[in-house]
Every structure is written in C-alpha cells, then in structure tokens.
C-alpha cells in the first residue's frame, strides 16, 4: 500500500503532490469515523439481542463483549482530530487506521465462529446477510486507502467463509461458495472507487497548482511591466537631456547659417535630430498611455479631413519608395478623438509604406451599420501566421534580429494597441506573406454634422522660426549647463531675451529684481527635475505665488514615469517633453505668453 495506491494512469508527479493526496485521503478516512462507530455498536448489539433471543446461546453475549472491548480502542483513533501535526504525520495515521480496522473486522469475522447456528438456516442467512451487507456498505468510506479497504473487508468475510467451511454441511459449503465471488466483487469495486477518488484528487491538486503558478506568473508579468516602465522613464529622461541641447543648438545653428554654404549640413543635422527625437516621443507616448494621462476627447468629425492630413503626411514617403498611396474619400463621419485616431492610423500607414516595396497602399473607409471600418491595405511583404499574434507586443519585430533602427523600434503597433483600447476601436489584422496585409480599425459611425478643427496638420519641418515679435523676458530654471547654453543660443538667435538660473533661490532673486526694475518676467520655464532631485513643479509654483503680474509657467521635462506625468497633469500646468522640437518650443512659448496676457493660470497638458 505505498506506491500501489496511485492509479497507473495518473502517476503522482512530485513528492509534494503525493503528500497532499495522502493527507486528503487520511482526512477523509477519519472524517466519518465517529458516526460509523456509533452505528456499528448499535448494529452489533441489535444482532446480539436477536440471536440471544432466538438461540439463547451465551456465546452470543460473549461475542458482544468482545465487540465492546474492541470499541475501547476508539479514543486512539479520535486522537487524530487533536493532533496538530496530523498533516505531517499522515503516513502514521494511515497505518493506525488500517490496523484498527483489521482488529475491528477480525472481531466481526469471529462472530460466526462464536454463534453460527448449525441447524437454523434462517438465522445463518440473517448473519450472512448482515456481515456481507456491512462489508460492502463500508467500501465507500474505506476506498480512499487500499490498505484500510482490505483491512475492513478481508478479515470479516474470510472469517465468515472459514466458519461456513468449518461447519462442513452441504448447505454451508454452498453458502461459502456464494461468499467467495461476493468478496471478489466487493474488493474489485472498492479498488475501482479508490482509483477514481485518487485520480480526482490528483487532478484537483494539479489544477490548484496550475492556478497558483498562473497567479505567480501574472504577478511576475506585472512586476516586469512596472520595471520596464521605470527603465523607460529613466532611460528616456537621461537621453532627453542631451537631446534637448542638441536640438536647440542645431536650430540656432541652422538659423545663423541660413543662406550660407554650411546651411545644408545644418539642415541635415536637424533632420537627423528630429528623427531621433521622434523615436523618443513614441516611447514617451507609450508611457503616457500606460499612465492614463491621455484622456480621449471624443466628438463627431468628418473622416475625410483626417484622410487628407494622412495623405499630406505620407505622400512624399510613398513617392520616395516609388509606391502608390491611395486614400479614398468616403464622406463618412465618425465619433472619436480625432488626434488620437489620426495617430493610430498614421502608425498603420507608416508601417504599410515601410513594408511595401511594390504596388501600393490603400486607405479606405466603409460604413457597416453603426460602425465605420477604416482599412489600411498594402501589397507589401506581409506577416507570417506564426508572427501575427505577436506583432502588437512591445519591441516585437519580425526579421530584425540586429535591431536595425531603420526598421523602427518595434513599438508602433504596441502604441496602436494601447490607442485601440483607449478609444475602444477594435483593430484586426489579416496578412499573407508575400501578398500584403490589411489592418482594419472599427470606429463608431455618426450622422454628418458640423466640422470642428482638430486634425493635426503635418508637422512643420521648418525649424528656423524667427520670433521677432516675441520680445518679452523669459526666465529658464534648469540646472543642466548644456541645455542652458543651447537655450540661450537658440533664444538669442530668435531675438528673445532669455535668462537662465540653476536653482530656485537664484530664480527668486532674478524674479524679484526684474519686478523691482519694472521689467518683470512674463514666462518662467522650469525643468521638472531640478538639481539634487528637487521638484520643479513645486518650486515654480512657490516662486510664482502672489506675484503681480504673474508670469506664465511652462514645464520642460525628460521625465516619462507615469506617476510624475499624472502629477503634472493634475496640476493643470502646460508641459513640454524633452527633446522639444525648437519650433514647438517657440509655439509653446508664444501660446503661454498669449495665455498669460489674458489669464495668469497655466494651460493644461495637450
């Protein structure tokens, strides 16, 4: 009764599982012991009464006493329920159980030896009936352990068979012969039941273990995702600082060199800077989506406006790759966030062009009931079925083991997935390798209405923006020397008066002095993370408090940690993410100054 306990079909895989099964088996055996002992004593003494009344044989009473004596062992079994280490000593308790049952069953097996009547066939039949019924009635309760089952059935029934054979009359031999197959059948059904029970226990524990592993994996995945977000935030912050300086210096250089021979190199340099900064922006976008900082602004708008913007954005890229970009007007209106939907579609069109070298890309929208299906179809390289389920994962790229930057970062479709969830616009993909791909975005349809502006025009590529009209004083609070120098050069090239301070104390001195001198600053630009981990938002708010006129506030940050972004959003302050494209910086400065002239409060994050 060791390894033989488990059915061959379901081997116990680990010692732990084996122990768990044993514990549960032993627990079940002891679970119904108390009530069955009481019932057994009642049965034994009813039988004694009946036989003593019919036979008047004192041996009946003698057996009754033997039976009573064996019940005195009961407390030894009941001790199981008080054993605090019962689970650890399951094997001991299993042994004690089957040994107890062997004694109990032998006691019943002695009954026919004590008082089987030689010539009273009806009473012989009654005794047989009682003993055989008892042996089979106990099978379900003993089935958890084969040793207990055998100890319960065998001594009782073999005792009965032996006594019948001992009597030796033909009728007794016949009855003994009847008992034998009965015994075999009882043991067989008990064994089958034991197999089923063990199998059920093993399956149950395996499921439990599986669910536990699954829960652990979910926690591990969440932790990995949080770590990734933290890593991103740190990496992108560290990259953004120098990027910002490069972008500003590049723009200043381009303005100064305009019209000279080196102007072309400066323009090329700035193009490369913009490409790099676009990659960082995608990372930042994902962080912002994960942080829940972006809240969709849904409204009805005409899809064709957006499609036209996409055409303008990607027309030249398609031309460069000598493929056709067809954008089919539909006249349909949809209900969505125009800017976010446009960014979602832009990612799909960008990919379609990138992965198509022959044929073309078609963007078309069709109405299906209350939905509009916008499809981006290309005749490009397609995606093999085994990769298809994973292309929306972050950093998953097909066939780019060297992570060639020219193939992208592998984050575009992850961004699409985030946007699709945020907007509740399902995105489906079908693709055939070598034939092309079809990405379908399903958007709620809305009846035609009045158009409201809100579609992004293609980003301006001209960075040498002159700010002649902007002559207001601006104070920059940033401890990064490289950024300070670059910003000074850039703003000076644009004709703007910019002073730079490295910490809040100097900023206060500068603000006070400017105010006393009658030329107060109109704008404070502050880095979000100051030297020594100081908080730029808090510092800037404290610096501006109570000033009249109150300068506008603009935060500049390389931070992408979701918690930080949420905090800034909640403060309702306008923020720009490093590296800020110089043109965008000037536009933001202009907007902040315009807002400052009408109201003293900041403008929320776009």
User: Which residue number, 335 or 407, has a Cβ lying nearer to ligand ADP?
Assistant: 407
User: Which residue number, 363 or 575, has a Cβ lying nearer to ligand ADP?
Assistant: 363
Pairing of strands 360-368, 473-477: unpaired
User: Which residue number, 380 or 464, has a Cβ lying nearer to ligand ADP?
Assistant: 380
Min dist. Cβ of residue 293 to ligand ADP (A): 21
371 membership: H or E segment, kind and range = strand 371-378
Separation of alpha carbons 575 and 587, rounded Å: 13
Task: State the sign of the Cα–Cα–Cα–Cα dihedral 576, 582, 588, 592.
Answer: positive
Inter-residue contact 472 to 586 (CB < 8 Å): no
User: Which residue number, 7 or 359, has a Cβ lying nearer to ligand ADP?
Assistant: 359
Separation of alpha carbons 327 and 336, rounded Å: 20
Please give the backbone phi and psi of residue 551, each rounded to the nearest 5 degrees, phi first: -65, 150
Min dist. Cβ of residue 391 to ligand ADP (A): 4
3 state SS of 144:
coil
Min dist. Cβ of residue 356 to ligand ADP (A): 7
ω before 579 within 30° of 0 (cis)?
yes
Min dist. Cβ of residue 381 to ligand ADP (A): 5
3 state SS of 294:
coil
Exposed, middle or buried: residue 370 (CB in 10 Å: 0-12, 13-18, 19+)? exposed
Helices assigned H by DSSP within 73-119: 74-78, 90-115
Q: How many Cα atoms within 13 Å fall on the side-chain side of residue 233?
A: 18
Min dist. Cβ of residue 446 to ligand ADP (A): 28
Separation of alpha carbons 205 and 8, rounded Å: 17
User: Which residue number, 8 or 406, has a Cβ lying nearer to ligand ADP?
Assistant: 406
Min dist. Cβ of residue 328 to ligand ADP (A): 18
Nearest to 499 by CA among 466, 477, 517, 520: 477
Separation of alpha carbons 86 and 31, rounded Å: 13
Min dist. Cβ of residue 598 to ligand ADP (A): 42
Residues 6+ apart with CB under 8 A from 521: 472, 473, 474, 475, 499, 510, 511, 514, 551
User: Which residue number, 120 or 281, has a Cβ lying nearer to ligand ADP?
Assistant: 281
Min dist. Cβ of residue 437 to ligand ADP (A): 4
User: Which residue number, 112 or 408, has a Cβ lying nearer to ligand ADP?
Assistant: 408
User: Which residue number, 41 or 398, has a Cβ lying nearer to ligand ADP?
Assistant: 398
User: Which residue number, 359 or 454, has a Cβ lying nearer to ligand ADP?
Assistant: 359
ω before 549 within 30° of 0 (cis)?
yes
User: Which residue number, 413 or 555, has a Cβ lying nearer to ligand ADP?
Assistant: 413
Min dist. Cβ of residue 385 to ligand ADP (A): 13
Min dist. Cβ of residue 397 to ligand ADP (A): 3
Min dist. Cβ of residue 330 to ligand ADP (A): 21
Q: Long-range contact list for 227-232, CB < 8 A, 24+ apart? A: 228/394, 229/287, 229/290, 229/561, 229/562, 230/561, 232/283, 232/286, 232/287, 232/560
DSSP string, 6-56: S-TTS---SHHHHHHHHHHHHHHHHHTHHHHHHHHHHHHHHHHHHHHHHH-
Secondary structure of the chain: what % helix, strand, coil (to 5)? 60, 10, 25
Min dist. Cβ of residue 425 to ligand ADP (A): 17
Q: How many residues make up the chain in this entry?
A: 606
Min dist. Cβ of residue 22 to ligand ADP (A): 51
User: Which residue number, 116 or 391, has a Cβ lying nearer to ligand ADP?
Assistant: 391
DSSP string, 55-85: H--HHHHHHHHHHHHHHTTHHHHHGGGG-TT
> How is residue 576 written in tokens?
């720009």
> How is residue 375 written in tokens?
């499809």
User: Which residue number, 433 or 458, has a Cβ lying nearer to ligand ADP?
Assistant: 433
User: Which residue number, 256 or 438, has a Cβ lying nearer to ligand ADP?
Assistant: 438
Inter-residue contact 163 to 213 (CB < 8 Å): no
Chain residue whose CB lies nearest ligand ADP = 408
Could you identify the residue written with the tokens 């036979």?
55
Min dist. Cβ of residue 368 to ligand ADP (A): 22
User: Which residue number, 70 or 351, has a Cβ lying nearer to ligand ADP?
Assistant: 351
- In the complex, the residues that contact ligand ADP under the rule CB under 6 A are 351-352, 355, 378, 380-383, 391, 396-398, 400, 407-414, 437
User: Which residue number, 283 or 511, has a Cβ lying nearer to ligand ADP?
Assistant: 283
Pairing of strands 360-368, 324-327: parallel
Separation of alpha carbons 605 and 563, rounded Å: 15
């Amino acid at each position: 009764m060791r390894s033989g306990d488990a059915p061959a079909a379901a081997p116990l895989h680990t010692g732990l599982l084996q122990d768990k099964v044993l514990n549960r088996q032993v627990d079940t055996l002891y679970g119904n012991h108390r009530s069955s002992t009481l019932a057994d004593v009642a049965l034994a003494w009813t039988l004694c009464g009946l036989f003593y009344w019919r036979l008047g044989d004192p041996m009946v009473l003698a057996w009754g006493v033997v039976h009573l004596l064996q019940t005195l062992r009961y407390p030894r079994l009941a001790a199981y329920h008080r054993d605090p280490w019962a689970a650890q000593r399951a094997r001991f308790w299993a042994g004690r159980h089957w040994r107890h049952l062997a004694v109990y069953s032998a006691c019943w097996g002695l009954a026919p030896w004590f008082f089987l009547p030689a010539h009273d066939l009806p009473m012989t039949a009654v005794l047989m009936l009682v003993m055989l019924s008892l042996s089979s009635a106990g099978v379900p309760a003993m089935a958890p352990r084969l040793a207990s089952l055998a100890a319960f059935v065998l001594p009782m029934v073999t005792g009965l068979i032996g006594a019948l054979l001992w009597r030796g009359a033909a009728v007794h031999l016949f009855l003994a012969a009847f008992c034998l197959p009965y015994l075999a059948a009882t043991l067989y059904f008990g064994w089958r039941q034991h197999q089923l029970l063990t199998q059920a226990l093993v399956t149950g524990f395996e499921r439990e273990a599986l669910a536990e592993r699954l829960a652990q994996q979910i926690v591990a995945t969440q932790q990995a995702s949080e770590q990734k977000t933290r890593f991103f935030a740190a990496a992108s912050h560290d990259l953004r600082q120098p990027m910002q300086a490069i972008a500003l210096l590049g723009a200043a250089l381009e303005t100064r060199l305009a019209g000279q021979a080196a102007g072309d190199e400066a323009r090329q340099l700035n193009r490369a800077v913009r490409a790099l900064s676009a990659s960082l922006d995608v990372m930042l976008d994902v962080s912002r989506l994960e942080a829940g900082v972006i809240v969709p602004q849904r409204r009805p708008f005409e899809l064709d406006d957006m499609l036209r913007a996409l055409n303008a954005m990607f027309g030249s890229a398609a031309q460069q790759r000598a493929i056709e970009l067809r954008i089919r007007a539909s006249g349909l209106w949809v209900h969505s966030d125009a800017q976010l939907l446009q960014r979602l579609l832009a990612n799909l069109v960008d990919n379609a062009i990138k992965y198509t070298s022959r044929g073309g890309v078609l963007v078309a929208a069709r109405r299906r009931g209350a939905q509009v299906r916008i499809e981006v179809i290309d005749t490009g390289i397609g995606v093999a079925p085994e990769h298809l389920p994973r292309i929306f994962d972050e950093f998953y790229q097909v066939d780019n083991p060297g992570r060639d930057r020219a193939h992208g970062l592998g984050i575009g479709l992850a961004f699409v997935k985030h946007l699709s969830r945020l907007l509740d616009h399902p995105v489906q993909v079908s693709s055939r390798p070598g034939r092309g791909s079809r990405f379908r975005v399903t958007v709620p349809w809305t009846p035609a209405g009045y158009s409201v502006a809100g579609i992004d025009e293609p980003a301006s590529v001209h960075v040498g923006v002159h700010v002649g009209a902007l002559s207001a004083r601006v104070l920059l609070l940033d401890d990064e020397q490289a950024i300070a120098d670059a910003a000074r050069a850039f703003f000076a090239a644009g004709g703007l008066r910019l002073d730079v301070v490295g910490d809040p104390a100097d900023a206060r001195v500068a603000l006070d002095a400017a105010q006393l001198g009658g030329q107060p600053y109109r704008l404070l630009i502050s880095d979000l993370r100051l030297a020594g981990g100081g908080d730029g938002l808090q510092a800037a708010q404290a610096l501006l408090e109570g000033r009249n006129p109150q300068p506008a506030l603009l935060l500049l940050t390389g931070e992408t940690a979701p918690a930080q972004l949420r905090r800034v959003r909640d403060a309702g302050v306008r923020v720009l993410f490093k590296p800020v494209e110089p043109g965008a910086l000037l536009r933001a400065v202009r907007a902040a100054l315009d807002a400052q002239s009408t109201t003293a409060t900041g403008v929320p994050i776009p």
